[in-house]
Amino acid sequence: METPNNTSQTLLDRIRSRRLATTFTLLATLSVGILAGSVLTRNVSGKEQVGIDSSDARPLVIPSPVALSNGFSQIVKQVGPAVVNINTEELPKPATNKRKRGGQRMPQPNNPDSDDNSQQTPGDMQDFFNRFFGGQGGDDGDGGPGERRALGSGFIVDPRGYIITNNHVVDKADKIYVKLSSDPDDAGDPGRAATVIGVDKDTDIAVIKIDTKEPLPTIKLGNSDSAQVGDWVLAIGSPFSLSKTVTAGIISAKNRSIDEPSANGVSQTQFQRFIQTDAAINPGNSGGPLVDMAGQVVGMNTAIYTQSMGSQGVGFAMPANIIANVYNMLIGPEHKVVRGSIGIQFQTAQSSAVGRVYGFTNGVIVGVVTPNGGAAKAGIQAGDVLVSIDGRNIKDGDDLVNDISARHVGSTVKIGYLRDGKQNTANVVIGDRAKTYADITGQKDEELAPQESDAGEGKLGITVSAIPPSIAAKTGIKGGVIITSVRPGSFADEIGLGKSAIITAINRKPVTDEASYRAIVSGLKSKDDVVFVIQSPTQKNLNSYVGGTLP
């Protein structure tokens, strides 16, 4: 009989022997596999093979260029050279307590163009330029020390250098530079200096110009009324400063309006009827063209609706027909847009129940009549329903505004209206909409115009005041004005005008007081040579001559 120890030892010996057998079996299997693999792949090696015959291999050949059927590339080649990149600089402004001026502004929910840019929600309609690029220079909009830089797009419509873009691309800019598609992509070169010819805030359209010795490539404007929902369009511009970018999409809708009334109830969007597109447009595309398959501009990219700070397929472009009308007025002698008005306010959207109760199916019910306006003088009252213009039925408020605004100031129009269900007519004289707007808001004309004391701030970059009696007594100067501030980077700063310097003459014309100073400065134009006679505020009879050429 075996002892327990012997039994345990025998068991261990069995386990060991079985392990050895299993191990040898695995090794044998692997060896067979390795041998078989070696036989099967004896001609395969990770190293370059020598003596291998590859004479039957055919080299790859790059085919000749083929024009694709969609024609997008041909359109881009045709119109691309006329699309430009615009970059602007807004120099820091000294903090001043200025009276707020009147006038209409482009609709900007949460007002991204205002001094308070902290109340914005990503779901609202957003202005490309200011929402995304407005504060790049470190300036927070409160008159801080930083310089603001911004980017946008535009397109050339006249070989002499006239360019169309958005007003908000150049608004508040002290310096504007344009880069053509043919200019080198040199980050150190801002581009060619541009000047503003005219702007229209109501439609957010601006015309700028660059000097050129050679004719520039241009792009043609098409008829936006012929554009149809579903038509292919291309958006061209510089999104996120990536110049010469092209995206494709379709026209998603037409005649889109974004109703943003101001605090006084006056609509700020009466002249803004957009083409909606799903062509990807992003910050920096603002001012660039939206072109159709004929290579013609049907719109100008102006705004986007976004919840992600980028394109979500809902972009808005100002129609080409509106652009053409505004452009033609801005290049005119007065460089401004004059629109007709009869001096009324009305509700842009109303329930059909209103028409049923007041007994009309088409027309506009008058909400407010402006005192001294054409309608008031013709006897039209609040509550009247305007139903026809020169015998033509009025469809709605847009129809009324489009018709009246296009008429010449001083002309007469026959207005048909209903009062207490009875038909009446009145001959109404067309007035200037800008003055009518001032009457509606309660602002006087002088409040709409720049303040006279700031006449030189925009052109020269300085503010002035009367010479203090103590300085006048010390220097013996009887006339002139003293510089109270100089804006960094301005024309005055660049030519060396300093704070506290006394100006006694400009271009050989004596400056006796603030009024004479304003009169001289108001007559200065871009590219004019300007020479100042400067006297020291601390020494008598110390004159110096400082001059330069206005940008």
Please pick, among 204, 278, 384, 439, the residue that the annotation labels catalytic: 204
Give residues with Cβ within 8 angstroms of 60, minimum separation 6.
none
- Name 497's Cβ contacts closer than 8 Å, sequence gap at least 6: 460, 462, 483, 486, 532, 534, 546
From the candidates 238, 243, 286, 405, give the one annotated as an active-site residue: 286
The Cα–Cα gap between 250 and 231 comes to 5
Contacts of 357 (CB under 8 A, 6+ apart): none
286 is catalytic: yes
Residues 530, 511: Cα–Cα separation, whole Å: 14
Residue of 168, 252, 384, 405 with catalytic role: 168
d(CA 271, CA 107): 11
Catalytic residue flag (residue 168): yes
Cβ 490 vs Cβ 523: under 8 Å: no
What one-character-per-residue DSSP string does 103-169 give? ------TT-TTSS------TTSEEEHHHHHHTTTTS--SSS-SPPEEEEEEEEEEETTTEEEEEHHH
Q: Which of 108, 88, 86 is nearest to 303 (CA)?
A: 108
How many Cβ atoms sit within 10 Å of the Cβ of residue 527? Answer: 10
Q: Express the helix, strand and coil content of the chain in percent, nearest 5 each.
A: 25, 30, 45
Q: Six-digit token pair at 119? A: 């109340």
Count, in order, helices (H) and strands (E) of the chain: 14, 27
d(CA 292, CA 298): 6
* Residue 161, token pair as written in the block: 């250098």
Alpha helices by DSSP H, listed for 449-534, are 455-459, 469-475, 491-495, 514-522
Note if 408 is an active site residue. no
List Cβ neighbours of 7 (8 Å cut-off, separation of 6 or more): none
- The position carrying tokens 């013609």 is 296
Which of 147, 149, 153 has the alpha carbon at shortest distance from 166?
153
> Known catalytic residues?
168, 204, 286
